[in-house]
Amino acid sequence: MFKENINKLINRDVIANGAKRNVAISKYKTMKLKVCGMRDARNITELIKLQPDFMGFIFHKKSPRNVSEISNVDFPKTIKKVGVFVDKEELFIREKVLDYGLDVIQLHGNETPKECQQLKMKEFEIIKAFQISEDFDFEKLSDYEPFCNYFLFDAFGKDAGGNGITFNWNLLQKYNGQTPFLLSGGLDGTMTESILNISHDKFAGIDINSGFEIAPALKDIEKIKKFKQSLQR
């Protein structure tokens, strides 16, 4: 029900606050796009043509998008390869970084600030994901800030990610930190206006997944293309 009303809810609050689109996207001139849950080599090759900023690969056996093998694909340096991990040991993460040439580590479990620090010290770029609910304590993020390049705010669900659920975006106003964040959780092609109207100076981009799939780990490239174009107008 919330997902059906998200556009009305966000637009209502933006109008009430007098926000305008030309300032809504914050200080970040271009909204970053991360496409997560990739696996199929041909699908990956087609997505590369759209030049997303990040492409995510999930290394979590419980996920229907879990990666066990990817054929060689020629990646441009303009697209960062993100490995998504859920409460994995550092050795496992480092092995995947070497095997797949990952540029960024996304921690999507209950990893502590100390664990983020240890990986950051290895000069990895870090995205730390958090599941947001009405009672989420944004104050705890201050302990993570020195060790994370981005936060990722996802919806609270039964799985670590890819639940296809949208959370109440008004909760974003409770975040007063300095680390930029990506928005995730049930995003689809109907939400362009609401995304463009988000007013937060640390809002840096979006992370899309199940809302643009033909099947788990198989993306609708044309749908993503239209969505990306609609965000750039």
pLDDT in tens, 133-179: 999 999 999 999 999 999 999 996 665 555 567 899 999 999 999 99
Q: What count of residues does the chain have?
A: 233
- The pLDDT assigned to 148 comes to 98
Given the DSSP bridges, would you call strands 125-132 and 32-35 parallel, antiparallel or unpaired? Answer: unpaired
Map tokens 């970053």 to a residue: 32
Q: Are 185 and 152 in contact (CB under 8 A)?
A: no
Which stretch of DSSP H or E encloses residue 119?
A: helix 113-120
Instruction: Look up residue 182 and give its two tokens.
Output: 């990506």
The distance of Cα 144 from the centroid of its chain, to the nearest Å, equals 17
Q: Are 215 and 36 in contact (CB under 8 A)?
A: no
Name residues of the chain where pLDDT drops below 70.
Answer: 1-29, 156-164, 233
- The pLDDT assigned to 130 comes to 96
- The pLDDT assigned to 177 comes to 97
The pTM score is 0.87
- The pLDDT assigned to 13 comes to 47
- The pLDDT assigned to 159 comes to 57
Secondary structure of residue 36 in the 3-state scheme = coil
Cβ contacts of 167 within 8 Å, gap of 6 or more: 2, 132, 133, 153, 154, 155, 156, 185
Q: How far apart are CA 130 and CA 51, in angstroms?
A: 26
**Number of independent structural domains in the chain:** 1
- The pLDDT assigned to 158 comes to 62
Secondary structure of residue 169 in the 3-state scheme = helix
How far does the chain reach from its first CA to its final CA, in angstroms? 29
- The pLDDT assigned to 195 comes to 95
Alpha carbon dihedral 201, 204, 210, 213, in 10-degree steps, equals 130
Q: In CATH, what number is assigned to the domain containing residue 85? A: 3.20.20.70
Q: How far apart are CA 154 and CA 58, in angstroms?
A: 15
- The pLDDT assigned to 72 comes to 81
Q: Are 199 and 19 in contact (CB under 8 A)?
A: yes
DSSP 172-227: GGG---SS-EEE-SS--TT-HHHHHT---TTEEEEEE-GGGEEETTEE-HHHHHHH
Q: How far apart are CA 72 and CA 127, in angstroms?
A: 25
Residue ranges making up the domain that contains 217: 2-231
